[in-house]
C-alpha cells in the first residue's frame, strides 16, 4: 500500500473546503483505497490530508489522468504545498485499514533517521513503540511507512482528543530512552490533526 501525505497552509478557508469535497471524485479510481484529513491543532491554517492507494502503479496512473481535473477546484486557496509518498511497512496495533469514520484525531510523526540506524529504528518501532501505543485504550489503528532517504512516517488514529491526551509525555520520554530514539533520529516533526468528516472519501 502507498500512503500520500499532503500538507499545506490554507489562505481561503471556504474555497479550500469547497474544493476539498470535490475529491469525492476519487471514488471509482482504480487502486484508490481512501482519503481523509483535517486541520492542525498547533497551526490552525495548516491542513494535513492522507490518501491511500493499493500500489505506486495505480497512483501514477491517476496522477497522469485525473489528478489535475480534481485539483483545479482548489487552485489559489492554499500555499506552501508539501507532498510525500511512503510505502506501508507494518501496522501499529493490528489490522490497519484506511478508515477515518471511527477516529476524531490523527497523530503524525515524520522522522529522518541516520542511515546506519535505520534497521534499529524500525525494530524499536515494532518492539517498543507499537506495543505501548497499541496498549493505549483510545488508539484505534496506525501504520509505519518508509520513504527513500531514510524517512519514516508513523501515523496513528485516536477516538478522541481526550483519549490521545492520556498518552502522557512522561511515558513518551521513558519509551524514547528505552528505544534509543535520540541516537536513531536526525530530525523529527509531528502534528495532531483534528479530522474533518466531510473530507473523508
Distance (Å, whole) CA 92 – CA 81: 27
**What backbone phi and psi angles, to 5 degrees, belong to 38?**
180, -160
| pLDDT per position as a tens digit, 42-51 | 999 999 999 9
Q: How many helices (H) and strands (E) does the chain have?
A: 8, 8
All domains of the chain in start order, with CATH = 2-199 (3.30.70.100)
3-state SS of 125-140 is: HHHHHHHHHHCCCCEE
Confidence (pTM):
0.94
In this predicted model, what pLDDT tens digit does every residue of 67-124 receive, in sequence order? 999 999 999 999 999 999 999 999 998 789 999 999 999 999 999 999 999 999 999 9
End-to-end CA gap in the chain: 17
Name 72's Cβ contacts closer than 8 Å, sequence gap at least 6.
Answer: none
Amino acid at each position: 500500500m502507498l500512503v500520500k501525505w499532503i500538507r499545506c497552509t490554507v489562505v481561503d478557508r471556504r474555497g479550500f473546503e469547497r474544493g476539498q469535497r470535490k475529491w469525492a471524485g476519487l471514488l471509482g479510481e482504480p487502486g484508490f483505497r481512501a482519503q481523509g484529513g483535517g486541520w492542525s491543532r498547533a497551526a490552525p491554517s495548516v491542513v494535513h490530508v492522507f490518501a491511500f492507494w493499493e500500489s505506486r502503479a495505480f497512483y501514477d496512473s491517476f496522477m497522469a489522468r485525473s489528478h489535475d481535473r480534481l485539483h483545479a477546484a482548489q487552485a489559489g486557496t492554499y500555499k506552501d504545498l508539501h507532498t510525500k509518498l511512503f510505502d506501508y511497512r507494518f501496522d501499529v496495533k493490528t489490522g490497519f485499514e484506511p478508515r477515518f469514520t471511527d477516529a476524531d484525531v490523527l497523530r503524525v510523526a515524520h522522522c529522518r533517521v541516520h542511515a546506519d540506524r535505520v534497521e534499529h529504528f524500525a525494530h524499536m518501532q515494532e518492539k517498543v513503540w507499537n506495543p505501548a501505543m497499541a496498549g493505549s485504550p483510545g488508539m484505534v489503528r496506525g501504520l509505519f511507512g518508509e520513504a527513500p532517504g531514510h524517512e519514516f512516517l508513523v501515523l496513528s488514529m485516536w477516538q478522541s482528543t481526550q483519549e490521545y491526551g492520556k498518552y502522557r509525555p512522561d511515558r513518551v520520554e521513558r519509551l524514547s530512552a528505552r528505544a534509543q530514539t535520540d541516537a536513531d533520529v536526525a530530525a523529527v516533526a509531528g502534528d495532531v490533526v483534528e479530522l474533518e468528516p466531510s473530507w473523508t472519501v
